[in-house]
Chains A and B, each alone.
Chain A
Amino acid sequence: MDLSIVGILLLDGITNGAVYALLGLATVLVFTVTRVIFIPQGEFVAYGALTLAIFQTGKVPGTVWLLLLMALLAAVMDVRLTWQHTRNAPKALKAGVFTLLLPVVVAGLSIWAAPRQFPLLVQALLTVGVVTAFGPLVYRLAYQSLADASSLTLLIVSVGVHFAMTGLGLLFFGAEGFRNPSFWDARFNLGPVAVTGQAVIIVGVSLALIGLLWQFFEHTLYGKALRATAVNRLGARLMGISSHAAGQSTFAMAALIGALSGLLIGPTTTVFYDSGFLIGLKGFVAAVIGGLHSYPVAAVGALFVGLVEAFGSFWASAFKEVIVFTLILPILVWRSMAGGHSEEH
């Protein structure tokens, strides 16, 4: 093992770690605001990469139809709920239309654009739109009515959502994998290490997104409202912050992060309908390192996971996953010894 090997492994670990960092942040975000341990986070990654792959073939991805179906279900639920509360038909219909509007626009655009074979960037944008629109709908259909249930109940729902999304992924994308074209084909030589353009994009986008998230939570009213919900749900509600709206926008952000991660790793590996789970799980390990509440620690943890994975596969590839997931044990011990965590309920 010489310096060039170390360099290549470091680069590999950082590129993967950057994606895990994004997913780890999304997991922390969802958990703090809604107390949901969001296992299906990785599914958004697979949906993102594969939706783009299907756009590339000039067909309408199955996810678009799923989006319409879910939007319709959510709209019916919203109409019913508003009707029960207000007995006001126009108001109830308005609630339904409001839910339907965005998904229908995104789906309509996708169906129109799919056979026209637009440039890669336009298709990537559409993909982000489609997958992001899933976020609030998943929250609306699976979690909203259970918002006050225990974390355990929410975790069980998450497992169910994960299986449903993986199964639907198989239906839409088939059992074979896809590899997307690279967004940037450049190659830079830093001594013995060749850095690909895609690696630069992955690290760059991850850093930018982390910066944006930080700006959003520190310096905007809406971000502060979300943080308030994370700190104390009841208190935030008394201050006029809707916990349902908070939940839906959190899930939209989680889906957005997932979709972007999918676009980022799509050109570097073959993505299958079930690839997302393991990727998401590594993000989850990072989130656990951050105690499910600290963004910076989660990000550092993700880089750590990426590096361990790279060096682990070099030394003992047969035990790579074992090494990565065994890591979580000493960290859990350390976290519970260090104590200082409080249960809110």
Chain B
Amino acid sequence: MAFTKSLITAAAALVVSGTALADLTIGVSLPLTGPASGLGIPMGNQIKLWPTSIAGEKLKVIVLDDATDPTNGVKNAKRFVTEDKVDLMMGSAATPVAIPMAAVAAEAETVQLAFSPAVLAAGKDGWTFRLPQSNSVMAHAMVALMKKQGVKTVGFLGYTDAYGESWLKDFTAEAEKNGIKVIATERFARSDTSVTAQALKLTSANPDAMLIVASGSGAAMPHMAIVDRGYKGKIYQTHAAASRDLMRVGGKAVEGAYVVSGPAVIAEQLPDSHPSKKVAVEFVSQYEKAYGAGSRNQFAGHAYDAILVLDKAVPIALKKAKPGTREFRVALRDALDSIGRTVVAHGVLNWTKDDHWGFTNETGVMLKVVNGDWKVE
């Protein structure tokens, strides 16, 4: 609570002091409370570490809490464009909140940097740029390792929700290109008491590898069920499972699992050849200096990346117009549309007019669980 208050006061102070007309105004809507607060709070922490100016323009940052509620997110977005007259908005960290915000952004012709992998209908994301990686980029890294290990057949065990569905789609497409077949597909829900039956069916199909699509601690139960059935092949997990909760709940059973992850949280372990290594190390050391060792997380990384992107795009936009005008907002969008290869903590971005997801295939990193810790594969 104290944190939220201090953010609000900070925002209010900025509003009061921000009289200079040419300030660059950013409206940020974050889930500081509610179910997605675990994502929003670290982002808020990173925003406190933002620089005070970009390309010589003073930054005016307004942070509002959307409480993980789409209605609040829309309200915040409307406030940003009508009252605060922002030059761009950011957020939200929760996908269901970010999606309706995109409509407001498009209507007001204001750039939105989404902190969540919001899937929008074709043509609706003209003003929305996403900072998290898409599943297909992650699937690319995973399939590359499978190919190297000689995996030919894969069994799929995933959530019966949008996350499981989109992974199945993206993974199958990527795998088929590389001659890998998904030979069995089973589903489960996070709250299921048992996945024994699914594990039985998958192990009797006996694929070379299993892919489990689940998040956090929910990824451990299916993994243990498959190991329990005596499966000896390789087991893969997605980036939603790339948290310590997997080892906390799974213990010895998840030993040897392959997990795909973004580069930000494993900065020091990245091979020197990984393009994001330098930036990721900078992010991690800055964040942990402020919030203590081990406090790093992928969500703060998105907030860090937002500034890296603006550092590159704002100077280009400034050549065409001054902040606070419609011309500037259009120029900013055009600058982001043609941003070119940009290295950020979470990988390598390359937004184009037709692709507002933008992470290149160099992004995903494969980890292996060794002795209850991550090891880069």
Contact = CB atoms under 8 A, between A and B. Distances in A.
Interface of A: 5, 8-9, 12, 15-16, 19, 170, 174-179, 265, 268-270, 272, 274-275, 277-279, 310-314, 317-318, 320-321
A305 B188 CA distance: 17
Contact of B195 (A265, A279, A313): A313
A197 to B, nearest CB: 14
B160 A318 contact: yes
Given A170-B35, A177-B217, A270-B218, A12 B249 contact: no
Contacts of B187: 317-318, 320
A120 B201 CA distance: 34
9 contacts: A174-B38, A177-B216, A178-B249, A179-B217, A179-B249, A278-B191, A311-B197, A314-B198, A318-B186
Interface in B171-222: 186-198, 200-201, 204, 216-218, 220-221
B249 A270 contact: yes
Contact of A16 (B191, B194, B201, B249): B194
B157 to A, nearest CB: 8
Contacts, number: 90
B245 interface: yes
B209 to A, nearest CB: 19
- Most interface-central of A19, A177, A179, A265 (chain B CB within 10 A): A177
A269 to B, nearest CB: 5
Contacts of B249: 177-179, 270
A279 B190 CA distance: 12
B247 to A, nearest CB: 12
B245 A269 contact: no
B191 A272 contact: yes
A265 B197 contact: no
Contacts of B38: 174-175
B194 A269 contact: yes
Contact of A8 (B193, B196, B216, B220): B196
A9 B196 contact: yes
Contact of B221 (A16, A174, A270): A270
A45 B201 CA distance: 29
Contacts of B35: 170, 175
A248 B291 CA distance: 48
Contacts of A270: 217-218, 220-221, 249
Given A179-B220, A270-B218, A272-B218, A279 B200 contact: no
B186 A274 contact: no
Contacts of A8: 196, 200
A258 to B, nearest CB: 14
B193 A16 contact: yes
B194 A310 contact: yes
B49 to A, nearest CB: 25
A268 B198 contact: no
User: Does more than half of chain A's interface fall in helix, strand or loop, or is it mixed?
Assistant: helix
A178 B194 CA distance: 14
B197 A9 contact: yes
A318 B195 CA distance: 12
Contacts of A318: 160, 186-187
Interface of B: 35, 38, 160, 186-198, 200-201, 204, 216-218, 220-221, 245, 249
Nearest to B34: A170
Contacts of B189: 278, 321
Given A265-B193, A314-B197, A321-B189, A176 B220 contact: no
A277 B196 CA distance: 21
Contacts of A275: 190-191, 193
A263 B320 CA distance: 65
B198 A9 contact: no
Contacts of B188: 313, 317, 320
- Most interface-central of B193, B196, B216 (chain A CB within 10 A): B193
Contacts of B186: 313, 317-318
Contact of B194 (A179, A268, A272, A311): A268
A12 B218 contact: no
Given A175-B35, A317-B197, 4 more contacts: A8-B200, A9-B196, A279-B191, A318-B187
Contacts of B201: 314, 317
A314 to B, nearest CB: 4
Contacts of A176: 216-217, 245
Contact of A5 (B160, B200, B217, B245): B200
- Most interface-central of A279, A317, A318, A320 (chain B CB within 10 A): A317
Contacts of B198: 313-314, 317
A51 B31 CA distance: 27
Contacts of A272: 190-191, 217-218
A150 B175 CA distance: 58
A19 B197 CA distance: 17
Contacts of A269: 192-194, 221
Contacts of B200: 5, 8-9, 314
Nearest to A277: B191
A19 B196 contact: no
Contacts of B197: 9, 12, 310-314, 317
B246 to A, nearest CB: 10
Contact of B193 (A19, A178, A314): A19
B101 to A, nearest CB: 22
Contacts of B216: 175-177
A42 to B, nearest CB: 10
Contacts of B217: 176-179, 270, 272
A256 to B, nearest CB: 20
A42 B217 CA distance: 20
Nearest to A167: B35
- Most interface-central of B186, B189, B200, B204 (chain A CB within 10 A): B200
A204 B61 CA distance: 61
Contacts of B221: 179, 269-270
A41 B305 CA distance: 45
Nearest to B193: A269
Contacts of B196: 8-9, 12, 310, 313
A75 B192 CA distance: 38
